[in-house]
Structure 1
Amino acid sequence: MLLDTLRAAQTTADVTRLFVQLGYRQAGTPYGSKAVVAARWRGFLVVAQADSDPRERARALARQLGAAGERGLGVGVGPGGIAIAAPRPGTAEATRALVFDAHLPAAVATAQLQALAPGRTRSALHHSLHVADVLSIEAVSNRFFRGFRRTWARMAEALPSDVPVAQRRLVALHSLLRMLFLYFVQAKGWLAGDPRYLRSLLDRTLASGGDFHRRALDPLFFGTLNVPLEARQAPVGMDIPYLNGGLFRRHPAERRLTHTYFPDELWIDVFEQLFDRYHFCVHEARRVDAVAPDMLGRVFERLMDGDERSKTGSFFTPEDIVHSVVREALTAALSRPGRLAPDEATQVMDRGSLTAELRTRAGAVVARLRILDPAVGSGAFLLGALEALTDIGMHLTPGTIERRWSLRRRLLRDNLFGIDLNPIAVRLAELRLWLAVVADDPSTTVPAIAPLPNLDGVIRQGNTLLDPLGAARAHAVFPAAATAALTRRVAEARMRLFDARGPEVRTLNEDLRRHELTLGRELLARATRSCTAALADLESAAESRDLFGERNRLPPAQQTRLRALRDDLGALERATASLDDGGVPFFSFEIHVPDVLEAGGFDLVIGNPPWVRAERIAPRDRAELRQRFRLWRASDNRGFRHLPDLAVAFVERALELVAPGGVVALLLPSKVASADYASELRQHLATSVTITSLHRISDQEAAGFGATTYPLALIARADPPHPTHAVRLARSSADLLSQHQLARPGPWILVPDRTRDAIESLRSSGRPLADVATPHLGVKTGVDGLLVGEPLEPAGRTMRVRSLLGGMVTLERQVLRPAVRGRDVRPFAVAASRVVLWAYQRSGIPRQTLPARAAAFVTRHAEVLAARVDYRGGPLWTLFRTEPALSGHRVVWRDIARRPTAAVLDQLMATAVPLNSCYVASFPDRMTALAASAVLNSCWAAALIHVTADEARGGYRRCNARAIGTVPLPRSSGALRSLAELAREAHHASSVAHADLDASVAQALGLPEPIQARLRALVPDRR
């Protein structure tokens, strides 16, 4: 019934009937001069108007509702069907329109309509937010992503099970991406002029006996789309364009799986459950069910499952962040020494009024730009750069859409390069760039459609970080560049391949590989000779003897260099041997883009490189990175947390690849601003390059970011900094920080100079907490789900406890102690709701035996307890890092919080065991412990932690030992005594007047009022 009403809708009265069936109340009152309130639900209005263009009418009505501050949605109705749009919350704009037309499958139409029903919402406000969410681009992006991922998994599972999973996924993805690309091509009318060509092809094949993949798709992909029109058997396929190889060339993984076809049943689901549910368009669309190229980045970068994302560190970069980083980076690259002046570069980027002379100079500068994304992912930054450079080029030399299309192709060929280790990422980046070319192609007839460019020389699969020639260059044994003739041949072959078509693609690919091979052999031979000579000099020095006949001992730096040279020589010899196979089996900038390096390097290295924690990197790779990169070094502390993130190596590699005066623009994990492992990187950046800007991405900006930490946008020029240079901290130039301040030891404090002075005044106002008491992470059980539980019913000397893994168990109370988790700690209060199995003597030594019930419990779970990562023998009930449970005068605080939250444990529950979601410090006496709790709960500690601690998502900070250790404590005993008395009363009342607390701490630390005012501006809300 609902579907019948929808299909028959032509008037606003039909809209009323439709929404009444969805659960709204009938209305019928006028709205403005031509529209009508067709239905309503509480204060939520359904405003409808008949129009020949229902989609635009719906969006106009939605904007009208938003401008009036009313909750509702707009409905356009007419011969083209029904369209629905809503105001976009917080803006004057409308959502995309949900369009119901004859092409929308019945099941899809019904599901989309029912999603607008008010049954599950509580109020008009709640319902308006729900409707806006249903109609948002994020909603269709999420639906399409889920459908795409589900379909991809089914196709991979349909391939022979004896084929490796990675190969099956790659083969399935290629078939799916070809179909996705053709849906966009079909939207341009390029497939026989039929907007439903692909579905019609499926239906015709099924009606004539089936076998869709073998009989229809294979001939289309590999016998038509990649065959020039003049080479086809006329008239077969003459209404289908020639799109060249690349996407329509069998991938090596497909060639290994010969005669493997997906069954018809699966292809029917591909159409009905995925592609036919959406409207495809090559430009940004205004239909809510539209899939446009601008949303594919979000879809593609989410295709990796969670485990792979953690291993590879690849995360989606929201489009607005890409746009802002690209804009600032290009402005800096255009204004590098010898190019444009800074104000001229800004004029060009803003596309303002330019003189003829500036247009000419700017055009020449843009033409010379060479831009690299060293970890291209799905191509977001290259695509952003392509769009920006296209807009600049069109402004410098205005022209028609034909000029825009040709300019875009030339920029792709000459200006952009991308590398990624993941072959899937390489294909996804290529697809997005091909779509950008297709979108601007003005051709309307099949013979006029230009073939897609070959991107083999633009987007390459390879390891940006580790290659033998790069290592040789980094260790200063790389000789002068090879002959200009060899370099020129590689560059020319790469250029010719870009526009090649038909049989010449294979020939030119072979030419390029041959020239790369010749250059590779020459470079490897030179590097090997140079490395051998340097190694011989060092070994000779190591074997020489002094005047007393004792063998000379090389200094540590030379010993390190000796080991590095030996590793380099081995890598060079292995690489040389691998060239005997007739190809270059590794990626090397020196071999694959020698012309760029010969000219000095890239003008701009930009991107969002992988963020990979050290424990996710294989031990062998960690060793190679440590040997290869000077800045990729662990801190002096032990454990994975002190090993560098992979992003540190990418920064160093980017600085190697960029030309002198060129620009590096990277999104990095914000921890590089504070983590111990990044101290050498911070020192190098602060003293060796000119940092243009350091911008912490805000909560709102990072909402679409997939990582669990905030990104930090670094933009720097490869030139030494001027002594008075100031770093911009936000997109406005008002927030400036003198770069020399960043050269100080410790974390970067990324606040303007005046605010930094206030922070330094605070830090110097007392003794650092770490000088008085060493903070420790709380006790680690290794298996909280078993050893930590909820206390239920005490009964004499026993207690019933419920744990996640152990279930319900009765244990002796003598081996149970209150367990404090981070969430249990509030200012001056602890509310422990768990107990922990604690079988330790007062001396801190584990008990040798357990009482009967506890012993039976441990025996029952012996396998789990013995398998704990930190367990190294001894009683099975052994815990780890037990010092925080054994010491006295303990202050405890949450490990992750918006602001420090602390309490004195011994004042509240002396036997409590703080777990490892807390930090603990043991003070020399109770008075100092109480005073420290007062300082930690003050707004001044919150201000300090806000700017110095590692960030976590949602505005939280990691209140670890390093960060809290810098909080100042009053030096005088009188100030300590005064704060201790205030804290004692606060613990007794479990609360305190915050204004009184802040005033007392400020007085104890001697903070002047102007300093207090600047610090208060940094303090997050007390939540």
Structure 2
Amino acid sequence: MNKKEAEKFVTETFQNSYDDDRYLRFIKELLNGERLQYGSLDYKHPPSSYKDYISEYRIFGLYHAPHSKRILFVAVKLSKSKSLDRARVMQRNFAAEILRGKISKAYNANAALIAFYGDEKEDWRLSFVTLDTELVCGDRGLCVSETLSPAKRFSYLVGVHEPCHTCMKRFCPLIEDEKNQLTVDQLLDVFHVEKVSDEFFKEYKKCYLHLTRSLQDVVDHDIAVKTEFENKNLVVADFTKKLLGQIVFLYFLQKKGWLGVKRDENWGSGPKDFMQQLFQKKIVPYDNFFDDILEPLFYEALARKNDYDYYSRFNVRIPFLNGGLFEAEYDWVHTNIVIENSVFEKIFETFDRYNFTVKEDEPLEKEVAVDPEMLGKVFERLLEEDARKSNGAVYTPRFIVHYICQQSLIEYLERHTDIPRNDIEFFIQKGDELYAKTLQKVIDAESGRENKSADGLPESIVSHALEIDTLLRDIKIADPAVGSGAFPVGMMNEIVKARTALTPRLNRGDESRTAYNLKRQTIENSIYGVDLDPSAVDISKLRFWLSLIVDEVNPKEIRPLPNLDHKIVAGNSLLESFQGIKLFDDEILSPELDSAAEEVAEIDNELKRLREERDALLWGTESARSLWLTDEINRLENRKARILKDEPQKQILQTLSPVKVERFKTSRKGLKKYRILQNQFFNEQDKEKKAELRKEIERQEWEIILSEAENSGNPKIVKELETLKGKKGKPFFLWKLYFSEVFTRENPGFDCVIGNPPYVQIEGMNNAIKESYANENYSTFTKKGDIYCLFYELGNRLIRNHGTLCFITSNKWMRAGYGKKLRNFFIQNVNPLLLVDFSGQSVFDEATVDVNILLFEKAQNQLQTAACLIKEDCRDNLSEYIQQKQTVKSFNTDESWVLVSGMMANIKQKVEEAGVPLKDWDVSINYGIKTGYNDAFIISKEKRDEILSSCLTEEERERTAELIRPILRGKDIKKYGCAHSRYLITIPCGFTNSLREGMDPETYIKSTYSAIYSHFMKVHDEYLVKQSKKKSKGLLNRDDMGEYWWELRSCAYMEDFSKQKIMYPNMTSYLPFYLDTCAYMQNDKSFMITGKHLSYLIAFLNSSLFKYCFIDNFPSLGEKGRELRKIFFDKIPVKQVDDKTDELFGKYI
């Protein structure tokens, strides 16, 4: 087929109702005439365990693909199921049974292309299901058995109501190529999820830019709109982001059939192209789509509770959603924002080309469609380049989110139970597989069928099911730089997955434990997030709402969404003060008891309970739980001793000033009321009551804040704070006020802090914010540092005793000088549990930064850190890779933290033990010349010849030639060699005054070195012409100069350039070292080593052994580069030799 014929054929196949003949023809074209084996003309009924989910199936045949792979082609007719989640699992289980040969041994295969359809064949699903074999190896590395991994399904949503753009684009090349022999890898590529995401993001950005320009034009030319935007602090870019987010949200809703439902029909029956019908005026006429249609849809239909959800303007049912996404931030009724209709035409034209799915990808279930997670990528990519640099926002890929969330839960459960760690790891990491097996057993039991197969749950998990479920229900998790919400959404999914797997073991008759209810409970009880960018907060909330919508399956009633204003909040996580004034006193959180006796009685009751629990444990067992119980008992006994020794708290308060006592009492009462109001607000649906609650919550919040500020005695600060009222984000965030319920419980703080904090160099920030961070008492603060260092320290402040933090950040702190304070902080204050260094492996799509994952516990450092250096792409098996490759390290020094693996660690240890750090050798390491203005001082051979030929006399020519010396730049240095091409005008500091003998300095240079002086003036004139485009201060006013502008800065080791020396670049990808005997100068992009035994030393530095052992001692730059600064080189241990050995090496160098 040619391209046009292929496109028509694929479109006819996938944009129509399912049809056996059409599907069979598609299979034949895909296989280019290759014959199928064991095909069946008839449909068959599935095993009885699947009858509630699968009506019948047909196997079209088996294809023998290249590389000894077998592919089945199948059609499956589905039964109606109340639970989408159950249906997905059972469909996957059924496909797995076919592939494993359990239906018929003849059909045993590696993969299957399956058409899933229902009674109404208009919309169906084309799935590619794969089954991989995992080898199980014994102690000696021999493979002793093999197991089948759980089935993975990749799907396209196709049919009458689905766009065919992506499906057609992927399958057409295979249909066109009549000589192609279909492979499993080709089909995997056709179903590749990330490709459709990348394509959609580019189109989305075009829509965003077009909409932004159009809206900006409206604001610029309409005085009323401009005034409204200014009065309500609206920003065009943020308005556009939210508007596009609202439209995307509606695309997800129409995907569920919730928009445009007829008056007497159930939810789910609405047209799947409702937004397009609105735009094409098929529902109601209009003049301007945004002003006449979208605004009423947003702020009347979706934001208000109408009778029977009927919206008379459109004569259809529209669900009341609640939550805040469709609450107007401006007076939309009296402000006419007339955005061109053509802008929305382009948006709908773009969106209509893609499939939308409300279900986010999971490891075993992926849809080739736009899902809610893409909102995170869109947010990160839409940031302007300058904003991205200042905010440091980097989107975190799914496999990292999965890993960090799972590891955090594993550590949490291990610290609170006696369950073996291996069982906890299996339970959390294999949740999808366990749920599928457990669900199969439950369904069989409900149908009265016997199922003797194991569900895979370890006995320790089964026997502690209630305890685990309670712990997962009560966990408190925070992301202090929430971004697009990837981590908290990921954590919610992991918790729900784990609790769902436990459900059959708890109460099989409990119908309240639905995915929707478990998600909502997790959001309300466990999730907290903060971000500096209000747009990020909006995106995060949007993803949580979408995650609830996917599991709302009641056709009669759609439950309104929760209000997340006090769960995901805008503010500066790192600051709890404003212009140096602390805004919340932690003493306010202290419990207010009537007497010391009452508190002692409470402590005694708690001690009795804890001792009984500890005594019930197996004697002599030092489990995590028993150790924690012992710690708690000791803490409470110490607390009791202090109370009995000291005055009761109320009497202590009375020793303070009456004003402060009264302020504390008022603030405590306000805080209690504040928490009650927050809880009420989460579920409130009534618009007027929500407005009242919001107003009262803000009033209580500001009463507490202003009370503290007024106590500072600075009325100017109070006045400035007043101006922040009502604004979306604040330049501070008061963790213990806004999330006070976390900090008023026993052992206050979060159980887990997770995330990907921003990477922004503090040095480049404005002075005001820099000073604010400096005054916040962060021990890790350094002006040369990065802001993520402060987030590590903040996270430790936020977690409770024995809580954990897990971040992915830049790995520069491990070796860089600015990381010394952070490394020392870790050694002194936390217990690092796991450190994973990706060491040049690319993790982020949109950033080239090298990263690490660090997991630590708030506890005494045990100096036993599991460490793993990742040298290859392992995104598909990250957990297994780290588990197999990790070694235990005791990071007990604030010097560079370097990770090596396996055999390399042993070799490196031997080399280090035999060596002496270079700083203790009889050598000096210095960087090259800093000219301050290379355009003037570093010249080409042609410029050197021109200057010499311009000299007025032969004597001047000789004098000038002495000052122009050959120079090597970092990039000119090679292994045992160099590529010289430049020269340095070397007028050292003090040169002029040592020779001028009373003559005016500039007159002396101008007359004695006229050609050099003329060259300098010419460079200066060129600078004056281009200075508007240059940020430098120029030749005459530069910072790095000697006593006069024509001199180089003072250099204490200037004579060393004339000595024999080892030269090497400061940044390189292959570590070259050159032994210079020609007295080359060198620039500041390189270093030199002078001193004794250089022949031996350069042989070692250029050796494979040096590179093998020490390349990871130097920070990564990009994918392959390394930074060879002196602070890293000083610490390299090298075996010392005597003069005779050095002479021997000298003969061969």
TM band (smaller chain): 0.7 to 0.9
2:195 corresponds, among 129, 139, 153, to 139
What one-letter code is carried by the residue in structure 2 that aligns with 1:248?
F
What one-letter code is carried by the residue in structure 1 that aligns with 2:843?
A
Q: Residue by residue, what CA displacement relative to the aligned partner does 1:34-91 show, whole Å, maximum 9, x if unpaired?
A: 5899999x9999999696799999x99xx99xxx9x9999898999799797999999
Structure 1 residue 173: Cα displacement: 1.2
The answer (yes or no) to whether the contact 1:472–1:478 under 8 Å persists in 2 is: no
Q: For residues 134 and 931 of structure 1, do their structure 2 counterparts lie closer, same or farther at Cα, with a shift above 3 Å needed?
A: farther
What one-letter code is carried by the residue in structure 2 that aligns with 1:920?
F
Structure 1 residue 626: Cα displacement: 1.8
- Indicate the percent of aligned positions where both proteins have the same amino acid: 19
1:243 corresponds, among 298, 321, 345, to 321
SS at structure 1 position matched to 2:801: strand
- For 1:384, the equivalent position in structure 2 comes to 490
Find the aligned partners of 1:785 and 1:86 in 2 and give their Cα distance. Answer: 62
Find the aligned partners of 1:952 and 1:367 in 2 and give their Cα distance. Answer: 43
Structure 1 range deviating more: 490-499 or 816-825: 816-825
Q: Residue by residue, what CA displacement relative to the aligned partner does 1:839-868 show, whole Å, maximum 9, x if unpaired?
A: 234889697543699568625622348852
Find the aligned partners of 1:75 and 1:357 in 2 and give their Cα distance. Answer: 39
Unmatched 5+ residue regions in structure 2? 14-20, 40-59, 79-87, 101-106, 135-148, 221-225, 262-269, 432-456, 505-509, 591-663, 870-878, 950-959, 993-1004
Q: After superposition, where does 1:126-205 map in structure 2 within 5 Å? A: 135-161=191-217, 162=220, 167-191=235-259, 192=261, 193-204=270-281
Structure 1 range deviating more: 183-192 or 158-167: 158-167
- For 2:372, the equivalent position in structure 1 comes to 293
- For 2:577, the equivalent position in structure 1 comes to 468
- For 2:1086, the equivalent position in structure 1 comes to 919
SS at structure 1 position matched to 2:1064: strand
Q: Residue by residue, what CA displacement relative to the aligned partner does 1:966-990 show, whole Å, maximum 9, x if unpaired?
A: 2234433336515632652xxxxxx
The answer (yes or no) to whether the contact 1:339–1:365 under 8 Å persists in 2 is: no
TM-score scaled to structure 2, two decimals?
A: 0.67
1:501 corresponds, among 681, 685, 690, to 685
- For 1:459, the equivalent position in structure 2 comes to 568
Find the aligned partners of 1:182 and 1:322 in 2 and give their Cα distance. Answer: 27
Is 2:804 the partner of 1:663? yes
Find the aligned partners of 2:801 and 2:77 in 1 and give their Cα distance. Answer: 55
How many residues are matched?
899
The answer (yes or no) to whether the contact 2:839–2:1116 under 8 Å persists in 1 is: no
Find the aligned partners of 1:337 and 1:16 in 2 and give their Cα distance. Answer: 54
Q: Residue by residue, what CA displacement relative to the aligned partner does 1:227-254 show, whole Å, maximum 9, x if unpaired?
A: 11328666556522111141111235x8
- For 2:42, the equivalent position in structure 1 comes to none
SS at structure 2 position matched to 1:440: coil
Q: For residues 754 and 945 of structure 1, do their structure 2 counterparts lie closer, same or farther at Cα, with a shift above 3 Å needed?
A: closer
- For 2:391, the equivalent position in structure 1 comes to 312
Structure 1 residue 361: Cα displacement: 2.6
What one-letter code is carried by the residue in structure 1 that aligns with 2:335?
T
- For 2:917, the equivalent position in structure 1 comes to 768
Is 2:755 the partner of 1:607? yes
Structure 1 residue 97: Cα displacement: 5.6
Q: For residues 12 and 387 of structure 1, do their structure 2 counterparts lie closer, same or farther at Cα, with a shift above 3 Å needed?
A: closer
- For 1:30, the equivalent position in structure 2 comes to 35
Find the aligned partners of 1:684 and 1:407 in 2 and give their Cα distance. Answer: 38
- For 1:691, the equivalent position in structure 2 comes to 832
- For 2:674, the equivalent position in structure 1 comes to 490
The answer (yes or no) to whether the contact 1:88–1:132 under 8 Å persists in 2 is: no
TM-score scaled to structure 1, two decimals?
A: 0.75
Find the aligned partners of 2:728 and 2:285 in 1 and give their Cα distance. Answer: 45
Structure 1 residue 378: Cα displacement: 0.6
- For 1:327, the equivalent position in structure 2 comes to 406
Find the aligned partners of 1:570 and 1:317 in 2 and give their Cα distance. Answer: 43
Q: For residues 17 and 440 of structure 1, do their structure 2 counterparts lie closer, same or farther at Cα, with a shift above 3 Å needed?
A: closer
The answer (yes or no) to whether the contact 1:402–1:442 under 8 Å persists in 2 is: no
Structure 1 residue 158: Cα displacement: 0.8
Is 2:392 the partner of 1:278? no
- For 1:542, the equivalent position in structure 2 comes to none
Structure 1 residue 773: Cα displacement: 3.8
Is 2:897 the partner of 1:748? yes
Structure 1 residue 914: Cα displacement: 4.0
Q: For residues 853 and 487 of structure 1, do their structure 2 counterparts lie closer, same or farther at Cα, with a shift above 3 Å needed?
A: closer
Structure 1 residue 953: Cα displacement: 3.5
Q: For residues 13 and 578 of structure 1, do their structure 2 counterparts lie closer, same or farther at Cα, with a shift above 3 Å needed?
A: closer
Is 2:1059 the partner of 1:888? yes
- For 2:859, the equivalent position in structure 1 comes to 719
The answer (yes or no) to whether the contact 1:368–1:415 under 8 Å persists in 2 is: yes
- For 1:303, the equivalent position in structure 2 comes to 382
Structure 1 residue 524: Cα displacement: 4.8
Is the radius of gyration larger for structure 1 or structure 2? 2
Q: For residues 414 and 524 of structure 1, do their structure 2 counterparts lie closer, same or farther at Cα, with a shift above 3 Å needed?
A: farther
Structure 1 residue 572: Cα displacement: 7.0
SS at structure 1 position matched to 2:382: coil
SS at structure 2 position matched to 1:386: helix
- For 1:559, the equivalent position in structure 2 comes to none
2:344 corresponds, among 258, 267, 275, to 267
Q: For residues 610 and 156 of structure 1, do their structure 2 counterparts lie closer, same or farther at Cα, with a shift above 3 Å needed?
A: same
Is 2:469 the partner of 1:363? yes
Structure 1 residue 347: Cα displacement: 7.0
SS at structure 1 position matched to 2:522: helix
The answer (yes or no) to whether the contact 1:152–1:173 under 8 Å persists in 2 is: yes
- For 2:822, the equivalent position in structure 1 comes to 681
The answer (yes or no) to whether the contact 2:584–2:704 under 8 Å persists in 1 is: no
Structure 1 range deviating more: 73-82 or 325-334: 73-82
SS at structure 1 position matched to 2:803: strand
The answer (yes or no) to whether the contact 1:226–1:244 under 8 Å persists in 2 is: yes
Q: After superposition, where does 1:414-433 map in structure 2 within 5 Å? A: 414-433=525-544
SS at structure 1 position matched to 2:555: coil
Structure 1 residue 919: Cα displacement: 2.5
Is 2:783 the partner of 1:616? no
Structure 1 residue 957: Cα displacement: 3.0
What one-letter code is carried by the residue in structure 2 that aligns with 1:311?
S
The answer (yes or no) to whether the contact 1:629–1:652 under 8 Å persists in 2 is: no
Q: Residue by residue, what CA displacement relative to the aligned partner does 1:298-328 show, whole Å, maximum 9, x if unpaired?
A: 3332222333222111111111111111111
Q: For residues 372 and 470 of structure 1, do their structure 2 counterparts lie closer, same or farther at Cα, with a shift above 3 Å needed?
A: farther
Is 2:985 the partner of 1:839? yes
Q: For residues 790 and 392 of structure 1, do their structure 2 counterparts lie closer, same or farther at Cα, with a shift above 3 Å needed?
A: farther
Structure 1 residue 476: Cα displacement: 9.3
The answer (yes or no) to whether the contact 1:899–1:945 under 8 Å persists in 2 is: no
Structure 1 residue 118: Cα displacement: 8.7
Structure 1 range deviating more: 388-397 or 746-755: 746-755
Structure 1 range deviating more: 297-306 or 645-654: 297-306
What one-letter code is carried by the residue in structure 1 that aligns with 2:201?
F
- For 1:931, the equivalent position in structure 2 comes to 1096
Structure 1 residue 388: Cα displacement: 1.4
Structure 1 residue 576: Cα displacement: 6.6
1:862 corresponds, among 999, 1016, 1023, to 1023
Find the aligned partners of 1:131 and 1:857 in 2 and give their Cα distance. Answer: 65
Q: For residues 14 and 32 of structure 1, do their structure 2 counterparts lie closer, same or farther at Cα, with a shift above 3 Å needed?
A: closer
- For 1:850, the equivalent position in structure 2 comes to 1011
The answer (yes or no) to whether the contact 2:32–2:181 under 8 Å persists in 1 is: no
Unmatched 5+ residue regions in structure 1? 20-25, 533-568, 635-639, 800-811, 985-1023
Q: For residues 227 and 762 of structure 1, do their structure 2 counterparts lie closer, same or farther at Cα, with a shift above 3 Å needed?
A: same
- For 2:997, the equivalent position in structure 1 comes to none
Q: Residue by residue, what CA displacement relative to the aligned partner does 1:938-974 show, whole Å, maximum 9, x if unpaired?
A: 2332244334222334354322212222223443333
Structure 1 range deviating more: 456-465 or 887-896: 887-896
Structure 1 residue 500: Cα displacement: 0.8
What one-letter code is carried by the residue in structure 1 that aligns with 2:320?
Y
Structure 1 residue 270: Cα displacement: 0.2
The answer (yes or no) to whether the contact 1:890–1:922 under 8 Å persists in 2 is: yes
